[in-house]
């Protein structure tokens, strides 16, 4: 049996957290089609698994992922990528997840690696992380959303400069620009990310999913529509037992016991 290209662990501590790891270390986790297919299956399965509330995706110390697999793509022609619906077919699975997906990035997050990290709900980076869209240096352009999500995260000027030159950006620069939620020392990355995931997993799951859906609406709608969406979702939480439990627990000065209902 060959090694899985993506490994999955459902953790006991923190509970309700699943850890997904890219597993092509010899090629800096280059993202080939087989890996993308495995990942799409894993994400879809975990999203539907009631024992999992939060997913974390990571690579290894040297690379989150150094991009789409260049060796695999080099000789493909237009008809192949168009007919195969390359990228859309597997990677769009990450777009329809209802539960949070956190990217824990150490080392290189380049090209498709940076783009997939941006598809996650947020990124926590090791201080060794390097982000970039170097596709221009190999005669192509970002294809997994880089030209769309990067300017939304860091603004037009920096996105243009990064995509046009292919230069890499440090974790510190990425955090200052708003791409990364937090930067932590490399040897503390997983401890920090899992504590963050555990904290989210201890909240009411429907409230967590409503936050995710509402924040994502900010990127898809006008402000008026987004505010209306949020207001309806907020009102909707009053139909949840967990809203009663959460507010009563506060008033009674005790910890809430959420039932995810
Ligand atoms: N695809 C395929 N193989 C890759 C790869 C990639 N994206 N990135 C690294 N590798 C392989 C290397 O070929 C090398 O393999 P061998 O040992 O068999 O030679 C191995 O991983 C280690 O890489 P390096 O020897 O190059 O390691 P380094 O430390 O000297 O350099 C690096 C690291 C700067 C990240 C360099 O590997 C690099 O520039 N990689 C390519 C980055 C890139 O251009 N990414 C964009 C890809 S295109 C894309 O992603 C399109 C899209 O938007 C979907």
Chain mean pLDDT for the chain: 98
176 is catalytic: no
Contact 21, 29 (CB under 8 A): no
Contact 180, 69 (CB under 8 A): no
Contact 6, 23 (CB under 8 A): yes
pLDDT on residue 251: 98
User: Cβ(134) to ligand 1 under 6 A?
Assistant: yes
User: Cβ(71) to ligand 1 under 6 A?
Assistant: yes
pLDDT in tens, 81-109: 999 999 999 999 999 999 999 999 999 99
pLDDT in tens, 123-152: 999 999 999 999 999 999 999 999 999 999
Per annotation, catalytic residue among 36, 63, 104, 135: 135
Distance (angstroms) between ligand 1 centre and the Cα of 27 equals 7
pLDDT on residue 228: 98
Please tell me the residue having the least CA distance from ligand 1 atom 28.
28
- CA of 234: how far to CAs of 121, 208, 230, in Å? 20, 12, 6
User: Cβ(138) to ligand 1 under 6 A?
Assistant: yes
pLDDT in tens, 164-194: 999 999 999 999 999 999 999 999 999 999 9
Give the burial class of 67: count Cβ atoms within 10 A of its Cβ; 0-12 exposed, 13-18 middle, 19 or more buried: buried
pLDDT on residue 116: 98
Is pLDDT at 1 greater than 90 in this prediction?
no
For the full predicted model, state whether its pTM sits above 0.95. Answer: yes
């Amino acid at each position: 049996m060959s090694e899985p290209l993506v490994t999955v662990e459902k953790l006991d501590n923190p509970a309700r957290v699943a850890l997904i790891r890219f597993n092509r270390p010899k090629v800096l986790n280059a993202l080939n089609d087989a890996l993308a297919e495995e990942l799409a299956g894993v994400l879809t399965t975990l999203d539907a698994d009631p024992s999992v509330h939060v997913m974390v995706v990571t690579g290894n110390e040297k690379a989150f992922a150094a991009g789409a697999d260049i060796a695999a793509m080099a000789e493909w022609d237009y008809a192949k990528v168009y007919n195969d619906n390359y990228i859309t077919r597997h990677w769009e699975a990450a777009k329809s997840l209802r539960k949070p997906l956190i990217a824990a990035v150490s080392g290189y997050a380049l090209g498709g690696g940076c783009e997939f990290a941006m598809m996650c709900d947020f990124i926590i980076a090791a201080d060794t992380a390097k982000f970039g869209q170097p596709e221009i240096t190999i005669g192509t352009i970002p294809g997994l959303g880089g030209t769309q999500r990067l300017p939304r995260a860091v603004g037009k000027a920096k996105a243009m400069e990064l995509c046009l030159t292919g230069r890499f950006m440090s974790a510190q620069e990425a955090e200052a620009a708003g791409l990364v939620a937090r930067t932590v020392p490399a040897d503390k990355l997983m401890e920090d990310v899992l504590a963050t995931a555990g904290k989210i997993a201890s909240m009411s799951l429907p409230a967590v999913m409503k936050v995710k859906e509402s924040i994502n609406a900010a990127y898809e709608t006008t402000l008026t529509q987004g505010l209306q969406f949020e207001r309806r979702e907020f009102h909707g939480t009053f139909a949840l037992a967990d809203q009663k439990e959460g507010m009563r627990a506060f008033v009674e000065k005790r910890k809430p016991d959420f039932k995810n209902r």
